[in-house]
Chains A and B, each alone.
Chain A
């Protein structure tokens, strides 16, 4: 009988786990939809800003973000990890990726981390951490601007001569691959701009404003892409976990039925045995 009770309590605990994984899956799915729609909106902004940038033209000007780096031989990796675990290899794969980048890099490197994950994991990677940022699950333009302002400052102050965003690139809900994108220095695009346009107050002011908007937008896009991937990874992981619990409950129920049947059989044979012993006695 003790065995039966053990199996029942085991089923109960697996069911509790299943409830948790199912609700986590649902939450991740809702957050995924939110970041995906934000990502769609941002694309419109990116498209418009590129159109305008083309009209202005990016050659010339004295914008510090377009200027060549003040060679100090340091590269800054901006590591955008998730806010939580339980999303498969999402975070760990990213950490491995940045370590690989570091090994191949001849310059000095330091990290700026974004996201709550890995407070004690990331420092063991052997790359010094300059600063850590926390970003919500659906990053807003405001959060992107705060981060971007800091990164721009690093570049213009000559603290780093290249700023690389390292994050999980979103391929599909099932696939994210670690990747990098150079934020700074900006590579000037081709084209001298539209001559028939009035620039108010002048081209340099406009270019500076546009470059700022463009950088903020790039950071925002990377943050959203990373978060979209995180939610997708968590959803996939939790779907798999829910399926596993389902299977486990099935197996346990089978075991429970076996045990119960065995108990009943034993009981019957005991009664029959007892009865026949009694009748045999008379």
Chain B
């Protein structure tokens, strides 16, 4: 089993997502960035687009607005102006 880390996606209207994931893919101004557990501390700008996260082989897509992602230890926080889970 892949190592997991905690991901929370927060907007001004509430928390869109808060759970453990195996893999995270963030849309940024310079292309998409992949994050796995144990990633170095990173602060990264987020562009409006679709954020993907994978857990146990299942992929969840979240539409996000402009914001920042904070990768720190075993926790990643994505702060965005807007966010919505896509089916």
Contacts and interface: CB of A to CB of B under 8 A. Distances in A.
Question: Chain B interface residue count: which class?
Answer: 20 to 34
Contacts of A141: 11-13, 81-82
Given A140-B13, A141-B13, A213-B67, A49 B42 contact: no
B29 interface: yes
Contacts of B82: 141-142
A220 B45 contact: no
B12 to A, nearest CB: 3
A85 to B, nearest CB: 28
Interface in B2-49: 10-15, 28-30, 33, 40-46
Contact of A200 (B12, B45, B66, B81): B45
Nearest to B33: A200
Overall SS of chain A's interface? helix
Nearest to B8: A48
Q: Is the interface of B mostly helix, strand, loop or mixed?
A: strand
Interface residues of A, number: 32
B49 to A, nearest CB: 14
A197 B41 CA distance: 5
A216 B79 contact: no
B78 to A, nearest CB: 10
27 contacts: A41-B15, A42-B12, A45-B10, A48-B70, A52-B77, A52-B79, A55-B70, A141-B13, A142-B82, A144-B12, A196-B41, A197-B42, A198-B42, A198-B43, A199-B43, A200-B30, A200-B33, A200-B45, A201-B29, A201-B45, A205-B45, A206-B45, A206-B68, A209-B67, A213-B81, A216-B12, A217-B12
Given A141-B11, A209-B45, 11 more contacts: A41-B12, A45-B11, A45-B12, A45-B79, A52-B70, A141-B12, A141-B81, A198-B42, A206-B43, A210-B68, A212-B66
